[in-house]
Amino acid sequence: MQNIVILAGNIGQNPEVRTTQGGTKITNFTLATSRPRLSEGRAIRDENGYRVMDTEWHRITCFNGLGKTVAEHSEKGMKVMVHGRIHYTKWTDATGTDRYGCEIIAEKVDFLSAPKVCAGDGKEQIRTTAGRCADRSHSSGHHPCRQLRAQTHRPALGDLGDRHRHAHGDGIPRQL
C-alpha cells in the first residue's frame, strides 16, 4: 500500500519558514482546493447559473531544500501542484486534551504560476502583473528574468508534458 497525495490549488498565505534546534528548515503554507458542490450527483448552481464551489484547506509542509525553493519562489495566490504524503499527528494540549492534526508532507512542488520575483544582479526585482520584470536595467542581450520565466512558463492546457518547472526534494529547481 502507498500513501500518495497529489493536490493542485492556490497558495492561501505566503510560506512561513522556521528552523528546528537541530538545524532542519521547515516551510509551511496552506493550499486551497475547490470542487463543485453536489446534490444527488449533480452540481448545484446559484441564482446566476454559476456552480457553487466547496473549498478545502490543506496544510503543506516542506523540508530543507524543497522548503527553501518554495519560500523563495512562491507567494499567496500562486497556483501549485503538490506531490506528497498524508501525515497525522497527535498531541496533548496544556489542558490535557488530546488533539489531532493532519498535514501533507511535500516531496515535490510544481509551480503552475509565474515566480514571485525575478533573479538578477544580486537583488530582488518585483514582477509586474503581466509577469514581466519591473527592473529595466538589464542589458537587452541577456535578461536573467526572462530565463526564469521561460523555465516556469505554464504550458497551454492539454500540453503539460514535462516542460513545467519542478522543485524536487533536493531543492534544485530545474527544467525536465
82: pLDDT confidence band, cut at 50, 70 and 90?
Answer: very high
Report the alpha-carbon distance of residue 172 to residue 119 in Å, rounded: 15
pLDDT value at 127 more than 90: no
- The pTM (predicted TM-score) of the whole model is 0.65
pLDDT digits (tens, 9 = 90+) for 13-24: 999 999 999 999
What is the average pLDDT value for the chain, to the nearest integer? 77
70: pLDDT confidence band, cut at 50, 70 and 90?
Answer: very high
Contact 132, 123 (CB under 8 A): no
32 contacts: CB under 8 Å, gap ≥ 6:
9, 10, 11, 12, 55, 56, 57, 58
φ/ψ (deg, to 5) at 73: -115, 5
Q: Which residue ranges form the domains of the chain, and what is each CATH number?
A: 5-113 (2.40.50.140)
pLDDT value at 128 more than 60: no
